[in-house]
Amino acid sequence: MAPAPISSIKVGHIEDVQELRKVQPRRIPQRYVRDVTERPTTVANSTSSSMQVPLIDFSKLINITNTDQSQRELSKLAAACEEWGFFQVINHGIDAELLECIEKVAKKFFLLPLEEKQKYAMAPGTIQGYGHAFVFSEDQKLDWCNMLALGVEPFFIRNPKLWPTNPAQFSDTLDMYSVVIRKLCQMLLRFIALSLGLKENVFNEMFGMAVQAVRMNYYPPCSRPDLVLGLSPHSDGSALTVLQQAKGSAVGLQILKDDKWVPVQPVPNALVINIGDTIEVLTNGKYKSVEHRAVTHKEKDRLSIVTFYAPSYEIELFPLPELVDENRPCMYRKFNHGEYSRHYINNKLQGKKTLEFTKIQLTK
Ligand SMILES: O=C(O)CCC(=O)C(=O)O
Ligand SMILES: [Fe+2]
């Protein structure tokens, strides 16, 4: 999603986690070892497996011939967005074969020799290509993850040189996948509007030149999952995020709920949806972008394919007037979305810190 690269950033030498795993499977370089407070299994970071992210049945939402049922599902959607900021969507109508294809090409890409993948290397300070995004200094802790991130839409954010030609079907598959995920996002936004009691087209204008980017995250196994993080805690800068957990992957995504990390158990063919920072702002904090992270596994690898769907860069964002009143004063100042995107990519992932950019400090 990077509109402009930043120069003069020194990130030092970054060891590739897949290569490390091959050559010295037990070694964890210091740059990957988290400070004690950040480690995934300490008491302060404890997990709760008893809670489950809500499931939303998309086929019920869109079935307007059964109004009772669709209204019930809409209420479930409202509760999921308000209480969780996350849900898994089932019966979304996307061809299971296409979901499988994108997983296949992504996995094939990550399993290529390093030299091959480095043809698409991410330049320091940018977030497209193969490598480590959000790294700004030599002493910053690194995520146990390899990423391939690509801008998809609008066309001017694409960097064709970074779209892999190996495997050969990669680009076509990603294009097909992106089209259907975009449609899903557009429909979800309509239902999100309805779930707030707003007109279904309330978001339309903001997403005229919607920004769509894809990040594929590959987490190799790690001999010390207790010391590292697959992906640092963060909220997404998008409006909506669609996350596909590849079949056969380890459980790895965790979301912060009531101060506990809740693992998101993969459901076959479901897609994980989360509210991004933009929807938090537009809904004046009613629907929250929730902090999440990824952890690693001792023996199993993990692949996730993540689509970020965001408003047009030129749009000015601020809470919808319908969601501001005396009881719920305006919590976010007006800002330009392109400016926010730049702010997001120029900072390391750090919980919900990036959203402070727009937060109004309310005094009582
Ligand atoms: O791999 C995951 O499950 C988390 C990915 C994620 O949060 C992201 O790419 O923003
Ligand atoms: Fe995320």
Read off the pLDDT of residues 70-85 as tens digits, 9 standing for 90 and up. 999 999 999 999 999 9
Average pLDDT on 262-270 reads: 95
When comparing pLDDT for 31 and 351, which is higher?
31
Instruction: Kindly state if the Cβ of 127 falls inside 6 Å of ligand 1.
Output: no
Count of positions (residues) in the chain: 364
How distant, in Å, are the alpha carbons of 161, 189, 261, 296 from that of 43? 45, 37, 11, 18
Residue 316 has pLDDT above 80, yes or no: yes
pTM for the model: 0.95
- Give per-residue pLDDT as tens, 209-248: 999 999 999 999 999 999 999 999 999 999 999 999 999 9
pLDDT for position 228: 97
Could you tell me the distance, in angstroms and rounded to a whole number, from the CA of residue 309 to the centre of ligand 2? 12
Instruction: Kindly state if the Cβ of 252 falls inside 6 Å of ligand 1.
Output: yes
Could you give all domains of the chain from N- to C-terminal order, each with its CATH number? 28-44+53-358 (2.60.120.330)
Q: Name the residue with the closest Cα to ligand 1, atom 3.
A: 253
pLDDT for position 354: 82
**What is the number of the ligand 1 atom nearest to the C-alpha of 292?**
7
**What is the number of the ligand 1 atom nearest to the C-alpha of 215?**
9
pLDDT for position 2: 45
> What phi-psi label fits residue 225: left (phi over 0), alpha (psi between -120 and 50 degrees) or beta?
alpha
Could you tell me the distance, in angstroms and rounded to a whole number, from the CA of residue 242 to the centre of ligand 1? 10
Q: How far is CA 142 from the centre of its chain?
A: 18
Residue 4 has pLDDT above 70, yes or no: no
Instruction: Kindly state if the Cβ of 349 falls inside 6 Å of ligand 1.
Output: no
DSSP 209-264: T-EEEEEEEEE---S-TTT--SEEEE--SSSEEEEEEPTTPPP-EEEEETTEEEE-
How distant, in Å, are the alpha carbons of 122, 134, 189, 204 from that of 2? 11, 11, 24, 23
Band of residue 159 on the pLDDT scale cut at 50, 70, 90: very high
Gap between the Cα atoms of 99 and 76, Å rounded? 25
Q: Tokens 């005229």 appear where?
A: 208
Give the number of the ligand closest to the Cα of residue 133: 1
Average pLDDT on 106-122 reads: 97
**What is the number of the ligand 1 atom nearest to the C-alpha of 274?**
7
Q: Name the residue with the closest Cα to ligand 1, atom 10.
A: 236
pLDDT for position 363: 61
